[in-house]
Amino acid sequence: MESKKRKSPEISLKLEIIEDYNNKATPTELSRNTKTSTISTIVKNQEATKKASESMRDIKKAKRLGEPKYKELEKYLDMWFRDTKAHNSITLDGPLIQAQALKIATMLQKPDFKASSGWLNNFLKRNNISYKKCIGEAGLVDKVAAEKYQHKLKKSINRPIIHFFYTPIN
């Protein structure tokens, strides 16, 4: 007989259960196809859940409440990332983010920090960052040249078009 795997409820569900509990919901309303022991644990740990959810950016998908080991480092790295992205000065990719993390770790005197690919993936998840949003090459385009091209394109579109019709011979 196979045993069922444990499933941790998502934090958004935990917050809904806590809200319903605080609004005096009945135990049946709280159940939501969840065991009563799970609900009682969620209610018992509601302060920790609320506190952790405040610091999380995207709580819909998260299941655990763990904080990063290098919280201060990640805070500064996130500030650098958002500032760099806002200025569109360079293309941000994994190795560049890892190098900047190592610089910040050196400044904060964290010699045991390693900017591994696993750490990078978790950092990106925690801060809701994806590479498709990070590319700054669009900001490097010459805006004057782009406007000239758009103007030239509009002129060519407005030009009358001569159609040469092909008629098949029967």
Tell me whether residue 48 is in a domain.
yes
Region of 13 on the Ramachandran plot (φ > 0 left; ψ -120 to 50 alpha; else beta): alpha
* pLDDT, tens digit, 9 for 90 and up, residues 146-163: 778 777 777 767 666 555
Residue 164 lies in a domain: no
Query: Residue 136's pLDDT is what?
Result: 55
At position 69, the amino acid (one-letter code) is K
Q: What's the CATH code of the domain at 114? A: 1.10.10.60
Is residue 106 a part of any domain in this protein? yes
* Owning domain of residue 124: 71-138
Considering the domain boundaries, does residue 64 fall inside one? Answer: no
- The count of structural domains within the chain is 2
Same domain, 20 and 45: yes
Q: Are residues 94 and 124 both part of a single domain?
A: yes
With tokens 């190592």, the residue in question is: 102
Amino acid identity for residue 37 in this structure: S
pLDDT digits (tens, 9 = 90+) for 116-125: 999 898 888 8
